[in-house]
Amino acid sequence: GNSVTQMEGPVTLSEEAFLTINCTYTATGYPSLFWYVQYPGEGLQLLLKATKADDKGSNKGFEATYRKETTSFHLEKGSVQVSDSAVYFCALSARRTANAGGTSYGKLTFGQGTILTVHP
């Protein structure tokens, strides 16, 4: 089955430090890959995505590159801010396949999340 493994946290950084959160995946075929962010007390927000190998997703200074050869989608930011403190989830969405009932669906498989705390 599909799975996502994230580096364990929590991660604590000083403001303006470089951030890397590792994410590796196991999936059949060519999944889409996502990073979601969850701020305290809120739902998940899509941060960035990549739908095919070598695609780079980017948003708000964050970047991640879809590496098929290493099955990875590591999240990076060159200079973190206090406002980046949140929980980050890596996720994959499998391509749609037919199930035994003949219907088609795909599900989002999440990593366990990485807590990031940035200090001034």
Partner 1 sequence: DAGITQSPRHKVTETGTPVTLRCHQTENHRYMYWYRQDPGHGLRLIHYSYGVKDTDKGEVSDGYSVSRSKTEDFLLTLESATSSQTSVYFCAISEWRGLQSYEQYFGPGTRLTVT
Does 26 bind partner 1 (CB under 8 A)? Our answer is: no
- Smaller CB separation from partner 1, 65 or 93: 93
| Helix-then-strand count for the chain, H and E | 0, 14
Question: Which two tokens mark 81?
Answer: 């801010």
Q: Provide, rounded to whole angstroms, the least separation between the CB of residue 86 and partner 1.
A: 14
* DSSP letter (8 states) at residue 31: -
Residue 102 found at the interface with partner 1 (CB under 8 A)? no
Among 14, 20, 51, 81, binds partner 1 (CB under 8 A): 51
Choosing from 14, 26, 28, 45, the residue that interacts with partner 1 (CB under 8 A) is 45
- By CB under 8 A, residue 93 contacts partner 1: yes
Q: Which residues contact 38 (CB under 8 A, 6 or more apart)?
A: 44, 45, 86, 87, 88, 89, 113
| Contacting positions for partner 1 (CB under 8 A) | 32, 34, 36, 42-46, 49, 51, 89, 93, 95-96, 99, 101, 103-108, 110-113
